[in-house]
Structure 1
Amino acid sequence: MYATVAAGGFRRYATYRAATAAGVFTNTVFGLILVYTYTALWDERPHLGGYDLAQAVTYVWIGQSLFKTLASGGGGVEGELMERIRTGDIAVDLFRPADLQLWWLAADLGRAAFELLGRGVLPFVFGALVFDLALPTDVSTWAAFLVAVLLGMLVSFGIRYLVALTAFWLMDGTGVTQMAMLTGWFCSGMVLPLNVFPGALGEVVRALPWSSLLQAPADLLLGHADPLPTYAFQAGWAVALLAAGRLVQSVAARRVVVQGG
């Protein structure tokens, strides 16, 4: 059943071809802006964060290819889930013969798979054709990278599911969503690699779950991290966040209020 839900999530996002094309264009343009910004920065500090310029440019295109896949700034199922909570439709979901969290996780994995293939590949290919990227030549590194991306999907969903569940208490989740978006951009490394952050700030942001979204997969692909410790870090956060989501869900389900009923 959950595989069917995931396939449905993939097909659902695949229907919006114009939006996908616009997203590919947007990610490519932002990639170019970041590349030239990073080039100016790395000209002043050639080995900033332990990256050389080619690795920094590669990091940019990894980020653009995973931006919607891992929803670093939010997006995906949480908006729809928040709306269902606000309108009271969530009461119907809770009576379905399916686990609420697994249902939305499957739908989000389907969405993420489409975003990776439909919106992530082309900007990365463009970057590889136009710039001199520091890409690995062995298949094992690429395979390790994809495993880290999958674990990043689980961590991302865990964060956004908790954000969505706040609607049980707040009803309007706009403020929480915007805070989560800004935190995700900053703490995932989407603005700058987390390796660049100095001192205690760098240690804190690298220990937070958002570093599993971009920094961890990127470091694997760039040869700056070992697979097993990276997987352990990501899996630990995935388990903790999904468990927290299940706990909050059980508390929230006890106070479901159907508006107007």
Structure 2
Amino acid sequence: MATVARVSVHWRVAVAAFRQYSTYRLATAAGVFTNSVFGLIRASILFAAIATADGELAGYTALQAATYVWLGQALLAPIEAFGTREVSQRVHHGDIAVDLLRPVPFLTLFYAQKLGRSSFLLLGRGLPPLLIGALITGLALPEDPLSYPLGLLSLLLAITLAFLADMLVNLAAFWLVETRGLSVVYMAVMNLLSGFLIPIVWFPDWLLAIARATPFPSMIQTPIDTLSGRIPVAEAAGLVAVQAGWIAVLALAAWAVLRAGVRSLEVQGG
């Protein structure tokens, strides 16, 4: 019964987060417009690079590059590539004490909020630019039908991974007076190494090796490659397994950091 009740609570939290963000209609419309404009700009830049390379660059044709761009724009909002600061602010304001007293685990509570928020952002701000891109530039669709369910799984894992990484940055607030600088550094590194700006296979070898040694490509490059069918299903399945591995590592790290932060708070009399 306790497990069922806990699942019910998390479901209600996710639904509440979905409804909350669905009320921001003007912001959603503005986000769709901005994502679409930047998508067109990014696509034109990549098209120019591919044209200079005689129509193909590191396995990307113009159509595949367009698909990469529009899927990236669609995932930008639900993955929240620019990070959040809610948890760090709650730590600084002392509101985290209330969160820790709730009968629901801290990390799973905010994860439920993340899933509800990301679900709306995917539907409200992700799909419209993708449809606009399909009409303007076209999209390369997967030939293997297994790419679709595998891509959706990869997307869920990417959202989870981005949540955990962002949570680690926010939990640094237990020891830092201001986490804004850390957030800026994280955002810059994440956007570069995740493959959001350009496909990581376009990186020089040394930077590609660095990127693949981090969880960042699993947040954007992997779901894009899987959903677009650019790589075979067998290879995509291996990358999804890598995503799951990184989730295990970051989940353990987030739990350890939260525990250490709470202990630090108690020692200080918080």
Q: TM-score, normalised by structure 1?
A: 0.94
Q: Runs of 5+ in structure 1 lacking a partner? A: none
Equivalent in the alignment of 2:44: 36
Work out which of the residue numbers 103, 106, 118 in structure 1 matches 2:124: 118
Q: CA deviation at 1:63?
A: 0.4
Distance 2:32 2:123 in 1: 11
**Partner SS state of residue 68, structure 1:** helix
Alignment of 1:86-125 (within 5 A): 86-125=92-131
Distance 1:82 1:211 in 2: 25
| Contact 2:172-2:179 within 8 A present in 1 as well | yes
**Partner SS state of residue 246, structure 2:** helix
Q: Which moved more, 1:155-164 or 1:126-135?
A: 126-135
| Contact 2:222-2:236 within 8 A present in 1 as well | no
Equivalent in the alignment of 2:230: 223
| Contact 1:49-1:193 within 8 A present in 2 as well | no
Give the letter aligned to residue 250 of structure 1: R
| Contact 2:39-2:70 within 8 A present in 1 as well | yes
Equivalent in the alignment of 1:237: 246
Work out which of the residue numbers 6, 10, 27 in structure 2 matches 1:19: 27
What's the CA shift string for 1:44-94, capped at 9, x where partnerless?
12322221111011100000000011112213xxx1111110011111111
Equivalent in the alignment of 1:150: 156
Equivalent in the alignment of 1:136: 142
**Partner SS state of residue 265, structure 2:** coil
| Contact 1:73-1:183 within 8 A present in 2 as well | no
Distance 2:192 2:118 in 1: 21
Q: Which moved more, 1:245-254 or 1:200-209?
A: 200-209
Equivalent in the alignment of 1:6: 14
| Contact 2:225-2:236 within 8 A present in 1 as well | no
Distance 2:267 2:134 in 1: 51
Equivalent in the alignment of 2:6: none
Equivalent in the alignment of 2:70: 61
**Partner SS state of residue 191, structure 1:** coil
Give the letter aligned to residue 230 of structure 2: G
Distance 1:89 1:257 in 2: 14
Superposed CA RMSD in Å reads 1.8
Distance 2:58 2:119 in 1: 30
Distance 2:96 2:121 in 1: 26
Aligned residues: percent identity?
41
Distance 1:256 1:142 in 2: 45
Q: 1:199 to 1:138 in 2, by over 3 A?
A: closer
Q: Runs of 5+ in structure 2 lacking a partner? A: 1-8
Work out which of the residue numbers 205, 209, 234 in structure 1 matches 2:211: 205
What's the CA shift string for 1:137-176, capped at 9, x where partnerless?
5542222111100000111011000000001111311111
Q: 1:6 to 1:197 in 2, by over 3 A?
A: same
The alignment status of 1:185 with 2:184, answered yes or no, reads no
**Partner SS state of residue 109, structure 1:** helix
